[in-house]
Structure 1
Amino acid sequence: YSWTNLFLYFWAPSVKGLRIFLTFWAPGTQCVAKCDSRKAKPGELVYHKGDILTIVDTSTKKGFYIARHNSSAEEGLINSNNVREREALRVDPSLSLMPWFHGKISGQAAVGKLQPAEDGLFLVRESIRHPGDYVLCVSFSNEVFHYRVIYQDNKLTIDNKQYFYNLIDMIEFYSKNKGSLTTTLMKPRKKQGAKSAEQELSKTGWLLDITKLTLGENIGEGEFGAVYQGEYMGQMVAVKTIKCDVTAQAFMQETAVMTKLQHKNLVRLLGVILHKGLHIVTELMTKGNLVNFLRTRGRSVVNSAHLLRFALDVCEGMEYLESKKMVHRDLAARNVLISDESVAKVSDFGLAKVDSKELDKAKLPVKWTAPEALRKEKFSTKSDVWSYGVLLWEIFAYGRQPYPKMTLKEVKEKVEGGYRMEAPEDCPPNVYSIMKLCWEQEPRKRPGFSKLREKLEQELSRMSPNSSEGPPRFVQSALCFF
């Protein structure tokens, strides 16, 4: 099926001519349980309210589907009346993790916004008198109390007793504990136009329960925070933790994008947890990113056919993004992760957008970015194709840094002047030809991802003439190296 939800309707054979709606869900559709099903009959799936279930197939039993539990992986029948389709989150700039944050306004303006007076009504503003500090404003007994939030030792505090990672952490605490305040925080006064991300995540089925998450070892660090291995309801997961308020808000864009995407070669979002910041929960990719994977194995373990398999995996994921009119903008081997089954999946959609409007040039990965994107900020699928050519070079160079020994300034100048990297050592000529097609100066001359996939499949068939599927991922004997 090319659709996810088809609504069929007809006039029921009744006197009143009542119109009845039947919902048909295609395989792969994700649903959220509306209630518990603990006393399931033989063949039926056990689940709890809020659990995520994936439709596997239709059933001969009227009103039922065969579904797989996303956490336990168990399969069984479910009643379609007991679930609703998991909605994608709208990419909306007004979606806020802090709808109660009003920016830089005066204390007098805050008092005006907290009218009519209501105990526990609150907002947070940036201090005008003390730039960089925040003020928590709370209504109680027909008065508004202003608590200055001081930034100290990389944490926030009101009373030098309780310390918080960020404003989200602070509001979460004082919504449950009075502490040094006159009252617990009862009701946020939302900034005009702001929408609560928490409410939207909950409504669409993407908000997960912190009590069901167990964090394990740290498996990565970034500018935004840390990535941990963890377990959520029995499933091994990766958890990206973002404690900075501003960064967490920016990552809502990535989260919203990921809720729209379902493909075997894209890292799957499982959901989001709001607790002392933002936690983005995805499937665990046990073998890390593609750069480190290739650097630590090398030619003795990974052959050209395996490299081509990775290239094809990425190409199929990008072809799907292309079909959704999505532009990734940061396609590189470091942003491709490898699963336990050695499947390559595209990740990190932080720069991904539907359109090609403004972007901070300072954040652009120069060595992977197309000339027109660097020069005029023109991003498109064809600029992703350029990046894919660089990624292809990384793969066949076994994770080497592209444009070795060249500064970013030299890369920009030389590429603009027509320079292209030489083929990596032992790279098949046909694969290098594909790279050069991706690096055509004019975007319109570059092939789309569907055409690139066809070329890669042909090359894979040449390497493995007896198999239309290409080579196996990795033989069992080689797994000890991974």
Structure 2
Amino acid sequence: MSHTTVRGPFAPDTEVVASYAFSGTSPEDLPFSKLERLTIVRATNDANWVKARNRDGMEGMIPTSYVTESRKEVKLNTMASKPPTVINFKFPHVLNYSRLFHSEATHRRREDGLFLVRESTNFPGDYTLCVCFERKVEHYRVIYKDNKLTIDEEEFFDHLTKLVEHYEQDADGLCTQLKRSVPKQGRREYSVDPEKAFKAAGWSINRQELKLLDSIGKGEFGDVLLGEWQGQKVAVKRLKDSSRAAQGILEEASLMTSLKHNNLVNLLGLVFEDSCILLVTEFMSKGSLVDYLRSRGRFHVSKRDQINFACDTCSGMAYLESQKVVHRDLAARNVLISEEGVAKVCDFGLAHEMNLKLDGGKFPIKWTAPEALRHSKFSNKSDMWSFGILLWEIYSFGRVPYPRIPLADVMKHVEKGYRMEAPDLCPPEVYQLMKDSWNENCNRRPTFHEAYKRLSQLRQSTLA
């Protein structure tokens, strides 16, 4: 094949994503799997072929009809000095506390019709509408019933926008007509409209093209459904109707548009509807790593499978590390297995940038590093501690970590120096990596790049 360069469909350095798998037909070809991302090196004299490079630096010829240009990254930059704005009900950033309302109401002399919507404290999952009237604050429970919202169980609305608009036009049983919402403070405002940003970057999916099928799981944000889109099975994360989920899923999707690696679950697009958002990702047919290990056990999961799962996960985490992204919840339950048996890290979009200190919250104690539990300090090194626990899960075929130790006592034992013993038949090299990852001094734990080198060496000598 002559390689005289002519104008082709892709410019050099263009990133493309594989629509189909390609095994190659000659030594010059570069095989790749479906959804793998490649970088165009140069065109050739045949417009149907280009030279490309994969994530491992290997180069070769690929057919242009098998790949499409990657879509643009979406950046939802927060606005540091933007004046407070009213609550955005389309993606409802509902205020969690009423203190702001009372101070605002006092400042405004509790003008009639001043209002806010907050999450209900007495009825979790519902909202409360707080309204000022005659220098007092009236509270109305917003009930979620039959996929509708209502206050009086006579008028029902598809979402908060419609409910608020209705009572802005007419009090209709409330103490007064709604007039002005309390300015939002302490919530994230974006420099671009999220829906427009995703559409402009090519990540929006037409709802009519997406077929929703059976439920395949539940996540922090809501149900995960099996779907069909463009002739392929997909996983669809359906947003729960809450402000935390709305903001979380948008930021998860935004991060997923910028993080591209074979061992991370791929984002395919989003569907925007009036009252919900659907996050569409590649479908991992063999489920979570922990379920895979438990359901098949040592008679079906080989040593080769174990080291492959370890290397795959470590490779994905090494990429996150290189991008200065922290996962915070790495565990075998958050690793998915593809039809081809490739392990891919998921829910990394809920990660935060390095050195972020979180205030409180509930954490998976058995997987979380001591400094993260003690001081809410998360880093790539706290992820490495979690990776050590994940390795233990792999080589114990999905057992729950720290067996026979009550959850409440785990941290006390760990801080006194206790470390789990090696699972049966665990290679010494893997157990040594576990112990290194559980060093109390986070700076002495290996990086994921270093861990991947060690695991790759072991993989080369593991036959079955």
Structure-2 separation of matches of 1:60 and 1:423: 53
When the two structures are aligned, how many residues end up with a matched partner? Answer: 378
* Residue 279 of structure 2: aligned partner: 280
* Residue 26 of structure 1: aligned partner: 13
Q: Does the alignment pair 1:241 with 2:238?
A: yes
Structure-2 separation of matches of 1:77 and 1:305: 30
What is the CA-CA distance between 1:244 and the residue it aligns to? Answer: 1.9
What is the CA-CA distance between 1:203 and the residue it aligns to? Answer: 1.9
SS at match of 2:321: helix
Q: Does the alignment pair 1:153 with 2:145?
A: yes
Q: Does the alignment pair 1:302 with 2:301?
A: yes
| The one of 108, 117, 126 aligned to 1:126 | 117
- Which residue identity is paired with 2:432? S
* Residue 92 of structure 1: aligned partner: 77
What is the CA-CA distance between 1:382 and the residue it aligns to? Answer: 1.0
The two structures, once aligned, show a CA RMSD in angstroms of 4.2
* Residue 411 of structure 1: aligned partner: 410
- Which residue identity is paired with 1:267? V
Q: 1:360 to 1:64 in 2, by over 3 A?
A: farther
Moved more, 308-317 or 92-101: 92-101
What is the CA-CA distance between 1:257 and the residue it aligns to? Answer: 1.6
What is the CA-CA distance between 1:431 and the residue it aligns to? Answer: 1.3
- Which residue identity is paired with 1:90? K
Moved more, 343-352 or 257-266: 343-352
The C-alpha deviation readout for 1:111-166, integer Å capped at 9, x for no partner, is: x9xxxxxxxxxx994289xx943499xxxxxxxxxxx9942437413785664564
The C-alpha deviation readout for 1:158-183, integer Å capped at 9, x for no partner, is: 78566456437x58999xxxxx9xxx
Structure-2 separation of matches of 1:396 and 1:98: 46
What is the CA-CA distance between 1:65 and the residue it aligns to? Answer: 8.2
- Taking only the aligned residue pairs, the percentage that are identical comes to 40
What is the CA-CA distance between 1:94 and the residue it aligns to? Answer: 5.6
- Which residue identity is paired with 2:149? L
Structure-1 separation of matches of 2:141 and 2:165: 14
The C-alpha deviation readout for 1:253-309, integer Å capped at 9, x for no partner, is: 222221111100000011111223121110000000000001000111111221011
Q: Does the alignment pair 1:201 with 2:198?
A: yes
- Which residue identity is paired with 2:454? K
Does structure 2 retain, via aligned residues, the 8 Å contact 1:99–1:191?
A: no
SS at match of 1:263: coil
Does structure 2 retain, via aligned residues, the 8 Å contact 1:288–1:338?
A: yes
Q: Does the alignment pair 1:60 with 2:44?
A: yes
* Residue 35 of structure 1: aligned partner: none
- Which residue identity is paired with 2:43? S
What is the CA-CA distance between 1:240 and the residue it aligns to? Answer: 0.7
| The one of 248, 270, 274 aligned to 1:250 | 248
* Residue 333 of structure 2: aligned partner: 334
Does structure 1 retain, via aligned residues, the 8 Å contact 2:248–2:350?
A: no
* Residue 441 of structure 2: aligned partner: 442
The equivalences for 1:96-111 within 5 A come to 98=90
Q: 1:452 to 1:100 in 2, by over 3 A?
A: closer
Q: 1:85 to 1:281 in 2, by over 3 A?
A: closer
Please give the TM-score of this superposition, normalised by the length of structure 2.
0.70
Structure-2 separation of matches of 1:454 and 1:298: 27
Structure-2 separation of matches of 1:305 and 1:172: 58
Structure-2 separation of matches of 1:271 and 1:172: 30
- Which residue identity is paired with 2:323? K
The equivalences for 1:164-243 within 5 A come to 164=157, 166-167=159-160, 170=162, 194=190, 195-243=192-240
- Which residue identity is paired with 1:437? D
The equivalences for 1:418-437 within 5 A come to 418-437=417-436
Structure-1 separation of matches of 2:164 and 2:231: 27
Q: 1:102 to 1:460 in 2, by over 3 A?
A: closer
Structure-2 separation of matches of 1:97 and 1:311: 43
What is the CA-CA distance between 1:28 and the residue it aligns to? Answer: 3.7
* Residue 140 of structure 1: aligned partner: none
Q: 1:163 to 1:225 in 2, by over 3 A?
A: farther
* Residue 65 of structure 2: aligned partner: 76
Does structure 1 retain, via aligned residues, the 8 Å contact 2:267–2:281?
A: yes
Does structure 1 retain, via aligned residues, the 8 Å contact 2:316–2:345?
A: yes
Q: Does the alignment pair 1:267 with 2:265?
A: yes
- Runs of 5+ in structure 1 lacking a partner? 1-22, 32-51, 69-73, 113-122, 137-147, 175-179, 181-189, 465-470, 472-482
What is the CA-CA distance between 1:376 and the residue it aligns to? Answer: 1.8
Structure-2 separation of matches of 1:160 and 1:363: 35
Q: 1:191 to 1:394 in 2, by over 3 A?
A: same
- Runs of 5+ in structure 2 lacking a partner? 1-9, 19-34, 53-62, 81-87, 96-100, 132-139, 167-171, 173-182
Q: 1:414 to 1:215 in 2, by over 3 A?
A: same
The C-alpha deviation readout for 1:6-26, integer Å capped at 9, x for no partner, is: xxxxxxxxxxxxxxxxx9453
Moved more, 240-249 or 154-163: 154-163
What is the CA-CA distance between 1:251 and the residue it aligns to? Answer: 2.4
The C-alpha deviation readout for 1:340-367, integer Å capped at 9, x for no partner, is: 0000000012541113323253321111
Q: 1:165 to 1:302 in 2, by over 3 A?
A: farther
SS at match of 1:76: helix
SS at match of 2:233: strand
Moved more, 219-228 or 366-375: 219-228
Does structure 1 retain, via aligned residues, the 8 Å contact 2:91–2:246?
A: no
Structure-2 separation of matches of 1:171 and 1:199: 24
Does structure 2 retain, via aligned residues, the 8 Å contact 1:216–1:228?
A: yes
SS at match of 1:447: coil
What is the CA-CA distance between 1:224 and the residue it aligns to? Answer: 2.5
What is the CA-CA distance between 1:235 and the residue it aligns to? Answer: 2.0
* Residue 476 of structure 1: aligned partner: none
Q: 1:436 to 1:274 in 2, by over 3 A?
A: same
- Which residue identity is paired with 1:268? N
